Amino acid sequence: MRFLNGKLLAWLAMALVNLMSISSEATELDLENTLYMDLEGGRVVIAMRPDKAPNHVARIKELARSGFYDGLIFHRVIEGFMAQGGDPEGTGTGGSGQYLKAEFNDLPHLRGTLSMARADDPDSADSQFFICFDRVPFLDDEYTAWGRVVAGMDYVDMIARGEPPINPSKIVRMRVAADVEAGSAQ
């Protein structure tokens, strides 16, 4: 019984430390550089990195503020790799019409990393982005990473798979956190 109580106490102590670090991380988010991406399953919180990809972050915020991403589907979702969305055509061929110069950086493509999709031309990123399901090292230094999921990755994991998915998941709404009233679900 003593061993069980010791294990339980150790587990509770670790849970408390994890809870404190999550709470600390959430309070340290810069709301102007945080996105709320509401999926059908729930809210995904994304910390953007303007220090690594300032032009991409500025463009993503501009598109989010205009409502561009609202209702768009994830049109290419590969298990163990990534979920790609941000195309108003829903086919992988569309965009907002404004190409961005690559801002390759040292952010690794880890589970939860958001990065820009592009064609062969490094400077062809537009509005399409992808979220990594796992570590994808071959994308490092080849695609502009601009953010990371800090909460709600379980909702990202629920995005329907396929190229294209039979019943694609969609972005219900995407907003810059600073624009969302405190306590509001919008």
> For residue 126, what are the contacts with CB-CB under 8 A and spacing of at least 6?
95, 96, 97, 98, 99, 100, 118
Residue that is written with structure tokens 């990473």 in the block: 145
pLDDT reported for residue 185: 53
End-to-end CA distance of the chain: 48
- The residue among 63, 33, 55, 39 whose CA lies nearest residue 148 is 33
pLDDT reported for residue 4: 47
Q: pLDDT (tens digit, 9 = 90+) per residue, 129-175?
A: 999 999 999 999 999 999 999 999 999 999 999 999 999 999 999 99
Task: Please give the average per-residue pLDDT across 55-83, as a whole number.
Answer: 98
pLDDT reported for residue 16: 42
Q: Quick one: fold of 30-179? A: Cyclophilin (2.40.100)
* Residue 7 · residue 20 · CB < 8 Å: no
- CB-based burial label for 169 (10 Å; 0-12, 13-18, 19+): buried
pLDDT reported for residue 18: 42
The overall average pLDDT reported for the chain is 88
Task: Please give the average per-residue pLDDT across 42-64, as a whole number.
Answer: 98
Q: How confident is the model at residue 29 (pLDDT cuts 50, 70, 90)?
A: confident
Pair of tokens at residue 140: 């490092």
Tell me: pLDDT of 21 over 80. Answer: no
